[in-house]
Amino acid sequence: MRKLYVIGIGAGDPDQVTVQAIKAMRQVEVFFVIGKGVEKQELLDVRTAILTEHLEGDYRIVEIPDPPRDRLPADYRGVVENWHDRRSALLEEAFAQVDGVGGILVWGDPSLYDSTLRIIERVLDRGVHSFDYEVIPGVTSAQALAARHRMVLHRIGEPVHITTGRRLRTDGLGPGSTLVMLDGDCAFTEVPGDNVSIWWGAYLGMPDEILIEGPLRAVEGEIIRRRTELRAEKGWIMDIYLLRVDPERAYESDNRR
């Protein structure tokens, strides 16, 4: 393989694919897709639809099975490092079958909670393959969430803290607003206080997109219910949310005591 394009394709809406991404896709001869199993066939279908809409020439799709891993390990970092090693070995094997230009389509943007770039570096570090690769940015789920809720992710002069559900449980809210990704078990239910608001979205940009917002204590039950229903129906869920303390509501709550 001479060159590899790592292409961000947005959070799910085919219209979020940028012109730069389309130009890159049109250079690719073989697209590598790490499959997530039958229950996530819809994710592969979206990728296929994007290619069908924007490409006219010949290309191939090589699907690679995703190695299984423990989702609740005692040694999280060690398990993920091992998973990355196994993924990189499978990609290395697939790359060996291609003499041309390859491509990997990445949900959102490759720079935000995605392992593709780290895995490609592992392939190169082993020295079996030598190729150039280029990264094409995409619309992140954070941007899609903000757009769909018609909001700014931060208040004036304040930061945005980006974290995961696992770290939200151990570390709590960050300064300013807290954007939470990869929350498999509704960690927001453990955030204390009656003065926190949430902006939640699932399947952003896809036909089943759902948005819920409001005071956390008032809407958390509805989010849990809808999330459980959708996960049972589809076999997977992809969601993200923003949490923010509302000082005015805290002041009102203090006055009522």
> What distance in Å separates the CA atoms of residue 112 and residue 183, rounded to the nearest whole number?
15
Domains annotated for the chain, with CATH where assigned, are 3-136 (3.40.1010.10), 141-256 (3.30.950.10)
Is it the case that residue 257 has pLDDT exceeding 50?
no
Identify which of 139, 240, 151, 245 has the alpha carbon closest to the alpha carbon of residue 192: 245
Read off the pTM: 0.89
251 confidence band (pLDDT: 50, 70, 90): very low
For residue range 18-58, list pLDDT tens digits in order: 999 999 999 999 999 887 655 567 778 888 888 988 898 88
User: Token digits for 24?
Assistant: 């890159």
Average pLDDT over residues 134-140: 97
**For residue 3, what are the CA distances in angstroms to 50, 72, 98, 100, 134?**
21, 36, 10, 7, 8
**For residue 80, what are the CA distances in angstroms to 134, 168, 187, 248?**
24, 19, 20, 41
For residue range 111-135, list pLDDT tens digits in order: 999 999 999 999 999 988 899 999 9
User: Token digits for 231?
Assistant: 């996960």
- Contact assessment for residue 138 and residue 112, using Cβ atoms and an 8 Å cutoff: no
| pLDDT value of residue 255 | 37
DSSP 8-state class, residue 67: P
Is it the case that residue 98 has pLDDT exceeding 90?
no
67 confidence band (pLDDT: 50, 70, 90): confident
For residue 134, the SS3 value is strand
